Chain A
Amino acid sequence: MTGPGDVVLRLTDVVKTFPGVRALDGVQLEVRAGEVHCLLGQNGAGKSTLIKVLSGLHRPDSGTVEWLGQPVTFSNPQAAMKAGIATIYQELDLVEDLTVAENVFLGHEPKVAGFVRRRAMVARTTGILGRLGHGEIPPRRAVHRLQAAGKQIVSMARALSHEARLLIMDEPSAVLAHDEVENLFRIIRELTAQGIAVVYISHRLEEIRTIGDRVTVLKDGRTTAADLSAAETPTSELVSRMTGRTIEYVFPPRVAAPAERAELLAVDGLSRAGEFTDVSLTVAAGEIVGIAGLVGSGRSELLETIYGARRADTGTVTVAGRRLPPGNVGAAVRAGLGMAPEERKSQALLLGEPIYRNMTLSTFTRIARLGFTSARRERDEADRVARSLDLRPSDVGRPVRTLSGGNQQKVVVGRWLLGDTRLLLLDEPTRGVDVGARAELYRVIHRLAAEGVGVLLVSSEVPEVLGLADRVLVMREGRLIRTASAGELDEDTVLDLVMAGSLMEGTPI
């Protein structure tokens, strides 16, 4: 038996190669019981690959993995789980058509004589969800009916349903709103107090400072720093270890404050039953408008409805003076709208297709001549965007499937940098994108705005909304409760508005 502070997991010189890529190139990692061990690294550094090796999804080419003092190789995820390693993957891996409870206990259903004890399963699921602070998720609901954050909670519940001694979390906070992250931290603290070790991956340094004990940094598949203190190591040191260069993680200043500009988007009295009510807003050309709100406040649904991916019950969407037909994405795209949706894997990407074809998915018709596509022209265009977003690897002929999560996200956003988008709807555009690339993305968004593109941005990260937007809309329970210029608001005010609505009286929109 191991006590607190003992090393439970030790990786030595682990190497894992994919065709054309050395994803892990000699990784060292040491995790102790009861600690939160943070893995830091840029997009494509090998973090996800490393945890897939740990959880039995990939087999290392060489190197050793020692678990509780014994060298091990897990041939499949079940074996790792049996040994006490539970994993929450970066890309959600739930079975969409099964219920919440069935997903939580998939592969280890409570059984009597071969029959699943449904009632026990549902009861235990309810218990775990309650512990996660989400007792409201119905265990019998099919997973595909949940929003992204709900799904994240379910995969967390699944990891907790095992008696794990090591819990690996690959960017668990990416789809969570502020208060849910707090909640997640509370759970992590409970677990570590019981001596459970946690490996935590995130691109948000402030989270690592709050929850982490020690940090290991990966760069290009190698461990470049280990045993750093999560609380005390200066940010500049962490960043330079990750990237080999210094980046200021700041929002670049706006080139010019937007003057009086033509109104580009006007949304009037838009409603969808159960999602949002009577939303009216405008976006001017060259203006960046941010929407702050909790997950479930109807932000994504609002964006999708403006885009025509959902059909509004009532209300109108007008772009440059022309009414858009409801529920018609094609018309919206022709009017110059573009949307980077919330869930990249299910809503945006053709995983088996090359990067350039994913980037040109909404523009290949325009790039084509007389209906004939041109791989060369498409590659050229995609190359340009790949460079401006620092895509790695930069070879646009690779299948998107082989990209790391953050780089896949860049492809999703990059799609709308091609062609002539006039209004960009961005739903969590920096989800899973590393510090450096994030700065690139902000720069690109600013450049677009300077060129006269209107941007409507949804983000769970309040600093991102405040730092990027000219104007901020606060949304709660499907209603816009406040509009203000970004300068008038600070993070705490927005959080208060979003959660309690305590400032609501007296400051209506």
Chain B
Amino acid sequence: MTLSDGTGTAAGLPAQSPPVEPAQTGAAKSPRIGWGGENSENTIRNLVLVGVLVVLIAIGAFTQPQLYSDSTWVWNNILSILQLASVIGVVTVGMTFVIIGGGIDLSVGAIVALAGVWATTVATQSYGAGGMIFTAIVVAVAVGLINGVLISYGKLVPFIATLAMLVAARGLAAEISDKQTQISDSAFINGIAAGKLLGIPLLVYILAVVATIGWVLLNRTTFGRRTIAVGGNVEAARLAGINVKRHTMLLYGLSGLCCGIAAIMLTSQGTSAQAAMANLYELDAIAAAIIGGTLLSGGRGTIVGSMLGVIIFATITNLFAINGLSTEAQNMVKGGIIIAAVLVQQFRFKAVTRFLHRNKT
């Protein structure tokens, strides 16, 4: 598509004063190069992330050629990477919304633990799998909404409110479980993580469904638009008539909902729950979102990017595992990647657009 050669503009001019020459000839000269707003930038960014993923896989193939020569192993390895990404991926969907909305949620790991523990008490388990799932979701959403109320109506800084919630929720989880590991007796719950459909683990399907719903919610619904508006310019959103407080509260509730789903997945994976589960998930989720291009200051980010961020992290973990390297080294590499991602976020897009432009004109 190109800008019209002035005829479009001319239509808007008063009839009694026709333009002597086409208006805005300057703009009309060069073709429009995908200025679909943020979309083109997002596409570029996501392609870069896919490139990073390819490089990581190439490193794997290079360091372990004999493993990679076995196609069954490769397929299974891909599945195990995706399975590794599934729980944190679900948490990251909620986190992405919160960050785009201009906030941060440090309590996600703690909410997962509290929901998991609450769902596996003897009392809850007596209601069966349905009762456990219901409990996990309700507990997690409730805690998320408490975060939201504290932040939007109590005017607490998100960082502080959710940090306090992190401590409190883990404390409550330890209290409820008496610091014991609670075994899940539900065959249904335990079967989720073990189950496969068409050879692909059920947990991967759950992530796919949650991420798809998240994508639709962000890109195609008024809820998503409000999220972007509130995070992009909170005063402008307020003056446009958006109920900023209620929306902020709902965002944390949404993050809680994702944590509730993750709690069931994680409980199923370990066939148990304990107060220390999902440790440091908040860091992984925030890091994945940032690597995926979500602006920490809010107003911008994509679900696709966040999911690529999660998968990149899972691939790194997997890479270290197949090479028998320590988790310490792995954490250092992850830290480096986060810093690189933020630096790149600041510089890359100016450079890329400039480059594209040079080539077109």
Bitwise, B34-47 to A at CB < 8 A (1) or not (0) is 01111000000000
Q: Which residues of A contact B196 (CB under 8 A)?
A: none
Check B157 for interface membership: any CB of A closer than 8 A.
no
Task: Flag if A332 contacts B9 (CB, 8 Å).
Answer: no
Task: Flag if A350 contacts B13 (CB, 8 Å).
Answer: no
Report the minimum CB–CB distance from A492 to chain B (whole Å): 31
Identify which of B88-96, B124-132, B229-237, B248-256 touches chain A.
B229-237
Bitwise, B10-43 to A at CB < 8 A (1) or not (0) is 0111100111110111110111110111100000
Report the minimum CB–CB distance from B1 to chain A (whole Å): 8
Q: Which residues of B contact A386 (CB under 8 A)?
A: 12
Q: Which residues of B contact A346 (CB under 8 A)?
A: 233, 235-236
Identify which of B115-123, B216-224, B278-286, B315-323 touches chain A.
B216-224
Out of A44, A394, A398, which one reaches B37, CB within 8 Å?
A: A398
Task: Flag if B241 contacts A333 (CB, 8 Å).
Answer: yes
Interface of chain A residues 86 through 108 with chain B (CB within 8 A): none
In the bound complex, CA of A164 to CA of B29 (Å): 37
Q: Which residues of B contact A46 (CB under 8 A)?
A: 26
Report the minimum CB–CB distance from A195 to chain B (whole Å): 35
Q: Which residues of B contact A349 (CB under 8 A)?
A: 233, 236
Task: Flag if A357 contacts B225 (CB, 8 Å).
Answer: yes
Check A470 for interface membership: any CB of B closer than 8 A.
no
In the bound complex, CA of A359 to CA of B33 (Å): 23
Check B327 for interface membership: any CB of A closer than 8 A.
no
Interface of chain A residues 1 through 56 with chain B (CB within 8 A): 17-23, 25, 44, 46
Check A63 for interface membership: any CB of B closer than 8 A.
no
Task: Flag if B21 contacts A19 (CB, 8 Å).
Answer: no
In the bound complex, CA of A397 to CA of B32 (Å): 11
Q: Which residues of A contact B309 (CB under 8 A)?
A: none
Task: Flag if A392 contacts B27 (CB, 8 Å).
Answer: yes
Interface of chain A residues 374 through 419 with chain B (CB within 8 A): 386-395, 397-399, 402, 415
Q: Which residues of B contact A244 (CB under 8 A)?
A: 19-21, 23
Q: Which residues of A contact B33 (CB under 8 A)?
A: 19-20
Check B155 for interface membership: any CB of A closer than 8 A.
no
Check A365 for interface membership: any CB of B closer than 8 A.
yes
Q: Which residues of B contact A351 (CB under 8 A)?
A: 232-233
Task: Flag if A20 contacts B35 (CB, 8 Å).
Answer: yes
Task: Flag if B222 contacts A361 (CB, 8 Å).
Answer: no
Task: Flag if A19 contacts B14 (CB, 8 Å).
Answer: no
In the bound complex, CA of A362 to CA of B9 (Å): 25
Check A172 for interface membership: any CB of B closer than 8 A.
no
Check A330 for interface membership: any CB of B closer than 8 A.
yes
Task: Flag if B241 contacts A334 (CB, 8 Å).
Answer: yes
Task: Flag if B236 contacts A17 (CB, 8 Å).
Answer: no
Task: Flag if B357 contacts A17 (CB, 8 Å).
Answer: yes
Task: Say yes or no: A332-B235 contact (C-beta < 8 A), given A19-B33, A352-B38, A388-B12.
Answer: no
Report the minimum CB–CB distance from A107 to chain B (whole Å): 20
Check A247 for interface membership: any CB of B closer than 8 A.
yes
Out of B12, B26, B236, B353, which one reaches A347, CB within 8 Å?
A: B236
Task: Say yes or no: A17-B221 contact (C-beta < 8 A), given A245-B20, A352-B300, A361-B229.
Answer: no
In the bound complex, CA of A362 to CA of B19 (Å): 33
Q: Which residues of B contact A440 (CB under 8 A)?
A: 12, 14
Out of A246, A329, A373, A393, which one reaches B238, CB within 8 Å?
A: A329
Q: Which residues of A contact B299 (CB under 8 A)?
A: 350, 352-353
Task: Flag if B12 contacts A390 (CB, 8 Å).
Answer: yes
- The chain A residue sitting closest to B236, CB to CB, is A348
Report the minimum CB–CB distance from B304 to chain A (whole Å): 17
Task: Flag if B27 contacts A21 (CB, 8 Å).
Answer: yes
Task: Say yes or no: A245-B17 contact (C-beta < 8 A), given A20-B30, A373-B225, A390-B9.
Answer: yes
Task: Flag if B235 contacts A399 (CB, 8 Å).
Answer: no
Check B307 for interface membership: any CB of A closer than 8 A.
no
Check B332 for interface membership: any CB of A closer than 8 A.
no
Check A368 for interface membership: any CB of B closer than 8 A.
yes
Please report the number of residue pairs spanning A and B whose Cβ atoms sit closer than 8 angstroms: 158
Interface of chain B residues 262 through 282 with chain A (CB within 8 A): none
Out of B11, B18, B221, B241, which one reaches A362, CB within 8 Å?
A: B241
Q: Which residues of B contact A415 (CB under 8 A)?
A: 240
Count A-side interface residues using an 8 Å CB cutoff.
62
Bitwise, A337-355 to B at CB < 8 A (1) or not (0) is 0010100001111111110
Check B361 for interface membership: any CB of A closer than 8 A.
yes
Check B333 for interface membership: any CB of A closer than 8 A.
no
Task: Flag if A352 contacts B232 (CB, 8 Å).
Answer: yes
In the bound complex, CA of A365 to CA of B226 (Å): 9
Report the minimum CB–CB distance from A216 to chain B (whole Å): 17
Report the minimum CB–CB distance from B22 to chain A (whole Å): 9
Q: Which residues of B contact A20 (CB under 8 A)?
A: 3, 27, 30-33, 35, 357
Interface of chain A residues 243 through 282 with chain B (CB within 8 A): 244-247
Task: Flag if A373 contacts B222 (CB, 8 Å).
Answer: yes
In the bound complex, CA of A93 to CA of B241 (Å): 27
Task: Flag if A21 contacts B30 (CB, 8 Å).
Answer: yes
In the bound complex, CA of A394 to CA of B224 (Å): 26
Task: Say yes or no: A348-B239 contact (C-beta < 8 A), given A22-B26, A353-B37.
Answer: yes
Q: Which residues of B contact A22 (CB under 8 A)?
A: 26-27, 29-30
Q: Which residues of A contact B21 (CB under 8 A)?
A: 244
Task: Say yes or no: A341-B232 contact (C-beta < 8 A), given A22-B29, A393-B3, A398-B37.
Answer: no
Q: Which residues of B contact A348 (CB under 8 A)?
A: 236, 239-240
In the bound complex, CA of A349 to CA of B8 (Å): 25
Q: Which residues of B contact A398 (CB under 8 A)?
A: 35, 37
Task: Say yes or no: A347-B235 contact (C-beta < 8 A), given A390-B13, A395-B3, A440-B14.
Answer: yes
Task: Flag if B220 contacts A372 (CB, 8 Å).
Answer: yes
Check B331 for interface membership: any CB of A closer than 8 A.
no
Out of A364, A373, A393, which one reaches B27, CB within 8 Å?
A: A393
Task: Flag if A373 contacts B221 (CB, 8 Å).
Answer: yes
Report the minimum CB–CB distance from B24 to chain A (whole Å): 5
Q: Which residues of A contact B8 (CB under 8 A)?
A: 387, 394
- The chain B residue sitting closest to A402, CB to CB, is B35
In the bound complex, CA of A402 to CA of B357 (Å): 15
Check B4 for interface membership: any CB of A closer than 8 A.
yes
Out of B14, B26, B223, B236, which one reaches A221, CB within 8 Å?
A: B26
Out of B31, B35, B236, which one reaches A361, CB within 8 Å?
A: B236
Task: Say yes or no: A23-B32 contact (C-beta < 8 A), given A346-B235, A347-B235, A390-B13.
Answer: no
In the bound complex, CA of A439 to CA of B16 (Å): 13
Name 7 extra pairs, CB < 8 A, besides A20-B31, A347-B239, A354-B37: A20-B33, A244-B21, A245-B18, A388-B12, A390-B13, A393-B24, A397-B35
* CB-defined A-B contacts under 8 Å, sample of 5: A330-B241, A353-B299, A361-B236, A372-B220, A392-B24
Shortest beta-carbon contacts, A-B, top 5 = A333-B241, A387-B12, A354-B37, A362-B240, A350-B232
